[in-house]
Structure 1
Amino acid sequence: MLEKLETTIGAIRPAIQADGGDIFLRGFDAESGVVSVELTGACVSCPASTVTLKAGVERILKDRVPGVTSVEAVGLASESAVSL
């Protein structure tokens, strides 16, 4: 499952990097289906990052990775972030 998530995020990454940001997988809760990602760079201060996360990243992950129910953003300081 984690490999499929990493591969899919790797496919999404160039589009986010083109706008000056980046995305990293930080965790996956198999029980709830929630994927935790960290957005960095320009994404941190971008008002559209929530739209990117929900309408873009979440939609793609739900389509390509069975079991994903939602995606949430976490930061380095967040205790819920799990380093992989």
Structure 2
Amino acid sequence: MTLLDQVEAALNTIRPYLETDGGNVSVDEITPDKIVKLKLLGSCGSCPMSIMTLKAGIEEAIKKAVPEITGVEAINLTDIDDPNAVLPENLR
């Protein structure tokens, strides 16, 4: 099973939750240093919770299933500097 197949299998475990809210993700690339670059689709691309979903949900699922992966990034997530974005470290 290729690295991409393993990442896709991990994503398939959380896709039903993303789809419930009208979203999804697609793998854009896996870099040579084992960073998965994802594209957030549907409502995931514009949701203020998408950063938290990416870090606490998607990245955790991928790294648990595929320990070789060193990181996960969204290529179309531009609101990381948005003061209204919900980040895991701000949930207190």
Residue-pair matches, total: 74
| TM-score of the pair, normalised by structure 1 | 0.81
Structure 2 partner of 1:68: 69
The alpha-carbon deviation at position 66 of structure 1 amounts to 2.2
The alpha-carbon deviation at position 70 of structure 1 amounts to 1.0
Structure 2 partner of 1:10: 12
Instruction: List per-residue Cα deviations over 1:25-78 (Å, max 9, x = no partner).
Output: 11111x322101111111111100000001110111111102111110124xxx
Matched, 1:28 2:30: yes
| TM-score of the pair, normalised by structure 2 | 0.74
Instruction: Give every structure 1 segment of 4 or more consecutive aligned residues whose post-TM-superposition deviation is greater than 3 Å.
Output: none
Distance in structure 1 (CA, Å) of the matches to 2:11 and 2:72: 12
% identical aligned pairs: 39
Paired amino acid for 1:38: K
- RMSD (CA atoms): 1.1
The alpha-carbon deviation at position 15 of structure 1 amounts to 0.7
Paired amino acid for 2:17: A
